Structure 1
Amino acid sequence: MIIIIGLGNPGLEYRKTYHNIGFRCVDKLAESLGVTFKHKYCNAKAAEYYLNGEKIVIAKPQTYMNLSGDSVKQLAAKFKAQNSEILIVYDDIDLPFGSIRIRSEGSAGTHNGMKSIVANMGKNIPRLRAGIGRGPEDVPLFSYVLSRVSKDKALQEDKLTDTVCAAINYYIETKCDIEKVGQRFNEKGE
């Protein structure tokens, strides 16, 4: 059992925002696998498939970002999944746009969705952070993350979501071996 959870906000108005990169990554992953988000449970939209006899669930919580932990906790309970069998995919302003980091545990940093998850599940939950960089200094953080990805970054975002999908596929292939995935995909010089 592996559960891949992309974070974002539901609703068309958020679809192309920096904060919804987690949703766009798992959307691209599902599309590449030929699966759809046809299931609705645990306050999430979900796609399911099997790989070599192992069930894989791809989920998008519909609780809005700041309450993501509620849905993640329900998903873990429904599938009797340990934290080590869950991977959270989300945006990170502290990473340069286009870079990724995968870790087995850690603090939530400035991310309210991860704060909710850590409050519900603890710090020892694997996560893949997709770098969205920081906005202009004169733009408040919440305004930047809820703004649409700029046209000049659209091509970079395509590459970023491709890299995230490759990292997730490798994570599944290696049976959740964070160290191997990190060696292959983490940017150097953190």
Structure 2
Amino acid sequence: MKMIVGLGNIGPQYDETRHNTGFMVVDRLAVDNQLSFKHVSKMEAMLASGMINGEKVLLVKPTTFMNDSGRSVRPLVDYYDLDISDLVIVHDDMDLPVGKIRLKKKGSAGGHNGIKSLISYLGTQHFNRVKVGIDHPNKQSVVNYVLGKFKPDQKEAFEQAKISAVSSIEEWVSGKNFDQLMNEFN
């Protein structure tokens, strides 16, 4: 079984914001593979399970808010007795331009509080990530920028990035080595 976690904030005021990029990618993955999310309050997450390319998957959108994502993810990893190598985290990245994705197998939080929480709860920096570019805010405050929506001229590039992110995840679920995917998509 593979677990794909999209990071974001729960609630309509956060829909379609840059910081909800992870949610938007796993939502697209769910739609493309006819999977539906349901709220599982005891797991503090929205979950969708089923098959993608012959592999059982669990799609996760933590309901703990971004900065406490690890509180939801760790119990799910334990409950399903998953190896960390069977986990991928999808999240926004301000150091990448809109439209670009980057796959990584390990690394620091780089200032991303959702990743910081995951590192703390999982006890490791060694987990697969699909980082989706949202660009840098320049002179705007970081908080206002990440909680803002994509500008009209960014939407097409973001849609392409979502498609690439979903494709990379589907190939990983199908058994392609994450190192190969890094070479292909980075």
TM-score (structure 2 length as normaliser): 0.95
Which residue number in structure 2 is paired with residue 155 of structure 1? 156
Which residue number in structure 1 is paired with residue 92 of structure 2? 91
User: Where do 5+ consecutive residues of structure 2 fail to align?
Assistant: none
- SS for the counterpart of 1:94 is coil
The answer to whether the Cα contact below 8 Å between 1:92 and 1:131 also exists between their aligned partners in 2 is: yes
How many pairs were matched up? 184
Matches within 5 A, 1:56-135: 56-121=57-122, 122-135=124-137
Matches within 5 A, 1:137-176: 137-174=138-175
2:126 maps to amino acid: N
Quote the RMSD (CA, aligned, Å).
1.3
Percent of matched pairs sharing the same residue = 36
Which residue number in structure 1 is paired with residue 29 of structure 2? 29
- SS for the counterpart of 2:29 is helix
Question: Measured at CA, do residues 51 and 149 of structure 1 come closer, stay the same or move farther in structure 2, by a change above 3 Å?
Answer: closer
Following the alignment from structure 2 to structure 1, what is the Cα–Cα distance between the partners of residues 133 and 100? 5
- SS for the counterpart of 1:138 is coil
Following the alignment from structure 2 to structure 1, what is the Cα–Cα distance between the partners of residues 172 and 11? 29
Following the alignment from structure 2 to structure 1, what is the Cα–Cα distance between the partners of residues 53 and 69? 29
- SS for the counterpart of 1:110 is coil
1:16 maps to amino acid: E
- SS for the counterpart of 2:60 is strand
Per the TM alignment, residue 39 of structure 1 is displaced from its structure 2 partner at its CA by: 5.0
